[in-house]
Chain A
Amino acid sequence: MPENQNFNPEDGLPISKVRAGKVSKYKIEHFVAPLDETPLQAVDSVKETGKPLSMWAEAWRSLRKQPLFIISAVLILAVIVVAAFPQLFSSQDPTYCALENSNEPGRAGHIMGFNLQGCDIYARVIYGTRASLLVGIFTTLIVVVVGGALGALAGFYGGWIDAILARLGDIFFALPLILGAIIVMQLPAFRDNRSVWTVIVTLAIFGWPQLARITRGAVIEARDADYVKASRALGLSRFHSLVKHVIPNSLAPIIVVATVNLGVYIVAEATLSFLGVGLPPDVMSWGNDISLAQQQLRSNPMMLMWPALFLSVTVLSFIMLGDAVRDALDPKARKGA
């Protein structure tokens, strides 16, 4: 617009545009609100009331109000108590089996009846909790430590470490968990020493790449944050900034995935035991009981139902807990607050 082309009086050069503001053709009243309606407050004053809350404390506060969390936490707590002190819940000896009771229905003192061998189903279900829970907890621990450490190193340092770990993870990823586990469990070293621990190790071998990937993603996100840059400018070494700043800030997704996976590992153990390659037959577990019950499905379906029900409820509780924790830790959900 040429009429707006002005020249600087001092050096005669054009000023790109001088804007003089607009004047309305309508009459505009000048309104001022009375001051007492909106008293001025200090600029950016600091809130001094209320208890200070860390991110974890805040997550806990929102978590403990969630029904999903309360239900799953109560159930998990119950399962843990049962696993630790089975004798409190059943006066029967699960190894005392009398063939005279074979396939007997439930009666007083034996509410769930007996299996083919004449063992008390209720007692076996109660005592079987421990093996299942042990597999779930220890597999998760190993997976979090190994997968988490490798994922964090890969994500933080990148380059060739990342490339090697990523390919290695891909190889394990490509094998379906159950198929891979069946093969590993058939290896002589595993086949001859079958115990809870061989199952744990097998599941961990196939479980770590998933956690490594999740950790790697979370670490990459945190590693470029300004607070990491700031800590390096303060003089912190690369490794220390990984340990002190990056990893604590990557924990949330790891916790969520680990909680959900704990349930998944319990199912995997049951599946392997069901297929006869998991826990040895002398270890009482839900998977073994389901496997045994399978042959009696037509004559005594309750024998299969009870361990399956316990298994489902336990796994469901862990998955629900994971969901509840995810909601509480989700950074997107808390952004607006």
Chain B
Amino acid sequence: MTETATPKPLLEIKDLAITFSTPDGPVHAVRDANFTVMPGETVAIVGESGSGKSTSALAAIGLLAGNGAVSSGQILFDGEDIAHASEKRFVELRGNHIGMVPQDPMSNLNPVWKIGFQVKETLKANGLAGDNPKERVAQILADAGLPNPEVRAGQYPHEFSGGMRQRALIAIGLACRPRLLIADEPTSALDVTVQQQILDHLDTMTSELGTAVLLITHDLGLAAERAEKVVVMYKGRVVEYGPALDILRNPQHPYTKRLISSAPSLSAQRGDKHEAIVDEIVPGKVEPLLKVKNLTKIYDIRKGFGKKEKFTAVDNVSFEILKGTTTAVVGESGSGKSTIAQMVLNLLDKTEGEIVFDGEQIGNLSEKNLFKYRRRVQPIFQDPYGSLDPMFSIYRTIEEPLRIHGIGNAASRQKKVKELLEQVSMPASTMHRFPNELSGGQRQRIAIARALALQPEMIVCDEAVSALDVLVQAQVLELLDELQREMGLTYLFITHDLAVVRQIADNVCVMEHGKIVEQGTADEIFDAPKSEYTRNLLGAIPGASLI
């Protein structure tokens, strides 16, 4: 702690302002931002989408979008002001002074070049390829934790999983041993366990190389766990910065407080308010609303030349949901959880097993009974940008189910739409708007209103809050909870995020490779997980151990 002389910061952002010129006038994306990154230090910038966190970091590497520019302030890299540096200077800096790991591992590798070639390209561009580039490339990939680096170097991006691609991108970012690595949401698209491995590895590598890391993330828990210093941004301004643990345990700015109280990974279990309802239901006495028994889904995968291979997406899954409760199905990508949702919604045929809803078999329903079933079970999908028809006004969107099922006349339907909007706390004037004018969270609330229109008994939420910022996510979860208490709704909640499960679920099924590996009440799963897999999932939730 006792440094004789004050060390020189590696990156210093001073009164930075960034402005984008748009057809509707200038947009101030970042204003008066100040923070520093010391050599070898990890600094996390945290904020919701649109807070200016990525913009600030991209300015430091000269990669702002064409209509954006630093309008005032300084970006000092090792004492040199690079806020208005030439493209030539940035080309010199990029790679061997400042590296970058982009957000989306799926689109940031060129699909037509082998991984090895793409690493070699980076080395060559910085004159570090050496005499034996092949060996050097293998070494770099091995350092990034890819097994069989020689073989892997000869493969194309599509042969890599998301986690492996992100490792390859980290390898490229660190290939030239930069002094600063900018990691823009490096693990947001990955499963928690993979996220943990990748970040562990990034930690090890950067501390060995002495690289400073500027980590951009929306997850305060992750930031607090991985960084020494956290910078919180809100509406283009830095509202708070300080030592990571101090920020987490002793937040000062109301926005930081709000972030911490909403972050699912940091908050406690579902409130006591819900216990009362659950207590009234004595299991065994009440017939469950939904009973899934030995459910199996097998896909035929075409292998060419008429050869087929069977792939079991859902393998002998059984669970029950009591009326008025929430059952969460949790698993990583490819675990078959969404397939279950689609089968319960009768949008996909099952291969074997039973789905019984309120005593009635689903799957061989007649057209008429299926229509009735649709009225009782409604979905909410993951992507708020995809689940509303962009051509339909909000009014038509919410009215559509009423119209399909021939409920009421024009006047009564309009009244109903207003009521529904009120239920999801949206002003009635929203009904004349179109989905493209609403934010992700607002669209998701519209999707909830549409699902409620037919007064269903059960709602299937397929990753319904996964695409939302933490604050908006908390708001939507609260809304779902409130509606459940008011209307006695039953939820089947499909998610990859165990942290969210704790906020909403009564019962939990943990899935891996199509099978349920563990099921029980939320408290059982969180307090005394029995399977190794669940323990790994729980352990991988960032930040949970810090509070």
Contact = CB atoms under 8 A, between A and B. Distances in A.
Instruction: Report whether chain A binds chain B.
Output: yes
Nearest to A40: B254
A21 B441 contact: no
A28 B404 contact: no
Nearest to A35: B254
B475 A235 contact: no
Given A22-B228, A230-B381, A33 B237 contact: yes
A233 B254 CA distance: 41
Contacts of A22: 42, 226-228, 244
B55 interface: no
B247 interface: yes
B255 A40 contact: yes
- How many chain A residues sit at the interface, stated as a range, is 35 or more
Interface string A226-267: 110111111110000000010011000000000000000000
Given A24-B38, A30-B242, A52 B437 contact: yes
Given A18-B545, A235-B404, A227 B389 contact: yes
Interface residues of B, number: 84
Contacts of B432: 52
* B224, B241, B391: residue with the most chain A Cβ atoms closer than 10 Å: B391
Contacts of B386: 225-227
B253 A21 contact: no
A27 B1 contact: yes
A192 interface: no
Given A53-B434, A55-B391, A232-B347, A33 B253 contact: yes
A19 interface: yes
Contacts of A44: 439, 441-442, 471-472, 475
Contact of B239 (A21, A33, A230): A33
Interface stretch (A8-16, A83-91, A178-186): A8-16
A225 B252 CA distance: 43
A108 interface: no
B539 A15 contact: yes
A89 B539 CA distance: 82
A28 B243 contact: yes
Contacts of A55: 390-391, 434, 436
A231 B226 CA distance: 43
B238 interface: yes
A21 B381 contact: no
A27 B229 CA distance: 10
B400 A231 contact: yes
A18 B542 CA distance: 10
Contacts of B196: 17
A332 interface: no
A32 interface: yes
A296 to B, nearest CB: 52
B240 interface: yes
Contacts of B387: 226-227, 229-230
Given A40-B258, A226-B386, A230-B381, A235 B374 contact: yes
Interface string A33-72: 1010110110110111000111100100000000000000
A31 interface: yes
Nearest to A19: B225
A57 to B, nearest CB: 8
Contacts of A11: 528
B3 interface: yes
B482 interface: no
B45 to A, nearest CB: 14
Interface string B427-446: 10110111011110110000
A28 B437 contact: no
28 contacts: A19-B545, A21-B224, A22-B244, A24-B38, A25-B3, A26-B3, A26-B41, A28-B241, A28-B242, A32-B252, A33-B240, A43-B258, A47-B437, A52-B433, A52-B434, A52-B437, A54-B434, A55-B436, A58-B436, A226-B386, A227-B388, A229-B347, A229-B381, A233-B377, A234-B454, A235-B401, A235-B405, A249-B390
Cβ-closest 8 pairs across A and B: A30-B242, A24-B228, A226-B386, A226-B387, A235-B374, A32-B252, A227-B389, A52-B433
